[in-house]
Structure 1
Amino acid sequence: MENFKHKPNFPFSIWFLVKYNPMKITRKTFGITAVLYLFLAMIPMSCGLFCRDTCGCGPTFPQQIFRIRSFELITAAFDGQRIFPDDMQPWDQYYKGLEVKDFDFITSSEGSKATFGVALACDPAPAKSDKKLLDIRIINLKEANLGDGTVLQVGDDISELFGINRFFAEGLQPIDSYLSDGYLLFLDEMLKIGFLQDPGKDLSLSIEISLILENGTTFRFDNEPFTIKSKR
């Protein structure tokens, strides 16, 4: 602390203003504050640390909704790489990958208003379909036998043999339980369809896959090869 015992004889208030010039303090404080503010403005806010709304960072983006016009169905290995449909793979490493191909936006996202001095690190919520996927039906088009002697006749609904999940999620769930409440589809999301258990012998199937939306719209893929190896 300053030693106030040896202050001049003129009034203390005058001496204090001369010694501790508030303008100097104000200019110094303002400079530090301005530099700090500019530094913080250049750093995107963390969505989890400062905010509490759905985006996590103040201004939000309306979620876009789209109408599905078509799907794409691919044949893929366990790692998501495309393979030839007739390329026989172990039963738990061969999938049909399903994703939205063509679509139309039916609502548009309004851009967030600019926020001075704040860089937002949040993205809009992914666009979702206006109708849910209610059911997937798989019909056998080529007679085949399972390892336990079950005969798959032409025209049989064999949907119960198949499971579904997001592509890189672990495992499969029965189609009827996975879609029990309907499933909203998102852009750039792929679902995988595969056998739920070892068929007991190698299979070379030809199947029809029908995708049914909640408004009754049906998308059909005919004569899809499904070739899997048993591990038994």
Structure 2
Amino acid sequence: MTSPLRKGLASIFIFTLMALLPLSCGITCNDPCGCGPSFEVKDFRITDMEALTLVGQGQQVTPSGTYPYDQVVKGIRIKSFQTVAEASTPKSYGIPGLAYACSPETPKSVEKMTNVQLISLRAMTLPNGKQIKIGDDLSEYFEMNYYFTEGTLPISEFLEGGLTMFSDDLYKLAWTLAPTEELKLTFTIRVQLESGREFLLTDQVLNVV
């Protein structure tokens, strides 16, 4: 066997041995997101919610003002929460060389939002001629979506199956009946969670034309 051939075979043997050594020692890392400490995912329990009067790109305006009905909405969002759970982000052992999304999971509410009701606090006549009494449900005249998502859906459709909530989510509640004259709405927003807990955002005002 010639000297160059022996050197070549020796090199192949050394590289093969180095490649197999981590496997035999149990220290191989195939985690595409790295093998450092796992991040903790801290889910939370909502302690309060709030309502805002919003126009345009999320500008907050005074509730007592009067606005075109298709340019103003009631926004709702989480106001405060408490961390209630900690868990390690599970590692995934995949094929080396593939691309993965390695961001840690986003903390979320431990309870989904299951229903939103809007309950009238004053008697009035709607543009369609329907007489509204104090305590009547106005929900069928509102639609809902994430604030920065175009369009709206019936509230029941948007919340179908329960909605997972994240701390920076902003939702919009849009009035859908075109007024024939200035319409002064005063109502309570009732936000219900899957556990049965609820938040009452009272004395909400929406004046539209």
**Structure 2 length-normalised TM:** 0.73
Which of the residues 102, 109, 114 maps onto 1:134? 114
- Mapped partners of 2:104, 2:180: distance in 1: 46
1:87 maps to 2:48? no
Displacement of 1:201: 3.1
Displacement of 1:160: 0.5
8 A Cα contact 1:132 1:184, kept in partner = yes
- 1:173-222 C-alpha deviation (Å, 9 max, x unpaired): 11111112111110111111111242343211110111111111010011
Displacement of 1:64: 3.1
- Mapped partners of 1:144, 1:79: distance in 2: 31
Match of 2:167 in 1: 187
8 A Cα contact 1:74 1:97, kept in partner = yes
8 A Cα contact 2:114 2:163, kept in partner = yes
Residue correspondences, number:
178
Which of the residues 121, 124, 129 maps onto 1:144? 124
Check 1:148–1:196 CA distance in 2 against 1; reply closer, same or farther (3 A cut).
closer
Displacement of 1:125: 2.4
Unaligned ranges ≥5, structure 1: 1-12, 17-52, 114-119
- Mapped partners of 1:188, 1:165: distance in 2: 14
CA RMSD of superposed structures (Å): 3.0
**Aligned ranges for residues 22-37 of structure 1 at < 5 Å?**
none
Match of 1:167 in 2: 147
Match of 1:224 in 2: 204
- Aligned to 2:59, the other structure's residue is in SS state coil
Unaligned ranges ≥5, structure 2: 5-30, 92-99
- 1:114-151 C-alpha deviation (Å, 9 max, x unpaired): xxxxxx98432221111111111111111222223222
Mark the structure with the bigger radius of gyration: 1
Match of 2:52 in 1: 74
Which of the two has greater strand per residue? Answer: 2
- Mapped partners of 1:219, 1:112: distance in 2: 33
Which of the residues 198, 202, 208 maps onto 2:188? 208
Match of 1:158 in 2: 138
- Aligned to 1:91, the other structure's residue is in SS state coil
8 A Cα contact 1:164 1:175, kept in partner = yes
**Structure 1 length-normalised TM:** 0.66
- Mapped partners of 2:179, 2:162: distance in 1: 28
8 A Cα contact 2:41 2:88, kept in partner = no
8 A Cα contact 2:127 2:177, kept in partner = no
- Mapped partners of 2:192, 2:101: distance in 1: 37
Q: Tell me the percent identity.
A: 32
